[in-house]
Amino acid sequence: MLSLSLKKGMMGLLMMTTQAFAVPTETAIFAGGCFWCLEADFDKLQGVISTESGYDGGTTPSPNYELVSSGRTTYAESLRVVYNPRIVSYKDLVDYYWQHIDPTTKDAQFCDSGHQYRSAIFYLNDKQKNIAENSKKRVEKLFHKVYTEVSPSTHFYPAEKEHQSFHIKHALKYKYYRYRCGRDARVASIWKEKKMTDNIKKLTPLQYEVTQEGGTEKAYQNEYWDNKAPGIYVDIVSGEPLFSSIDKYDSKTGWPSFTKPIDKNAVAYKSDKKLFIERTEVVSSQAHSHLGHVFDDGPEPSRERFCINSASLRFIPKEDLEKEGYGEYLSLFK
């Protein structure tokens, strides 16, 4: 038989192992019209552990669907998202949220009207508040007026059982409702057309050639190849953060080079065979702007060299991050 001390040692090791592999969780709350639809959208996002439809933003104790949907409270149909911050950040969730709502309508979302269907980000702490407010500033630069509120969560009440996972339990009814409501068509209209079209029209000929046609600017004859100022680089089309000066280095190539993106989800990758050899093209995640290529001849430990065109980028100095709506990145330079 095992001695008591050996048993205790084995139990302690088991507990340490379990804790080491425990999945970290954080919570976010959003409102964006019908909670059935918002729940279905966030269920698709990698890193989301669970979603729960409910009500937030009001003060009436123990609200129910009948009270909220009739507009007799100040609650909004909302969604509580539990996620793994090692896989998806709160900023990623907020960015994803904007892409699935209409921020230009007041007290309504798609075919649903009323204060109970307003769009809102209900923050749970100061960190979330800062990220949400800065993100809203960036969205406001794309549209004449943004009605989405950024407010503290008053209290999240889960909705009734029949409203949870509605898109799964009642798939046909849900799909018909979503189609009839015109949600997907409206989202596509405002985000894929307006946002990008307006900004693309402002591009210089070189910026257009690089970002939209996959061109390459001349080495040593571009704006940022030798820029050493602290700050971040964002997509010239969408404004999404891409790279930080902290990860920039002189690769002796004449183009801005970075060891990594500012966030692993900031860029996407494509196979490029234009020069008869296969290369890995780097594009921005939201606007799909051509940025450059990534090579395996960079510094240790990753050996990655992100060779990027200046024409794809806009540089925001550290001292301008707050006023430009990128205040959450100031922590990089402390």
Point out the catalytic residue in the list 34, 37, 111, 181.
34
| CA atoms of 290 and 237, how far apart (whole Å) | 10
| CA atoms of 158 and 60, how far apart (whole Å) | 14
Point out the catalytic residue in the list 37, 111, 181, 307.
307
Whether 191 contacts 96, CB under 8 Å: no
Grouping H, G, I as helix, E, B as strand and the rest as coil, residue 9 is: helix
Using omega within 30 degrees of 0 as the cis cutoff, is the peptide bond preceding 301 cis? yes
| CA atoms of 77 and 57, how far apart (whole Å) | 9
Whether 49 contacts 42, CB under 8 Å: no
- Cβ count near 91 (within 10 Å): 18
Name every residue whose Cβ is closer than 8 Å to that of residue 133 and which is 6 or more positions away in sequence.
150
Q: Please, is 184 exposed, middle or buried when counting C-beta atoms within 10 Å of its C-beta (0-12, 13-18, 19+)?
A: middle
Whether 111 sits among the annotated catalytic residues: the reply is: no
| CA atoms of 113 and 108, how far apart (whole Å) | 4
**Residue positions annotated with a catalytic role:** 34, 307
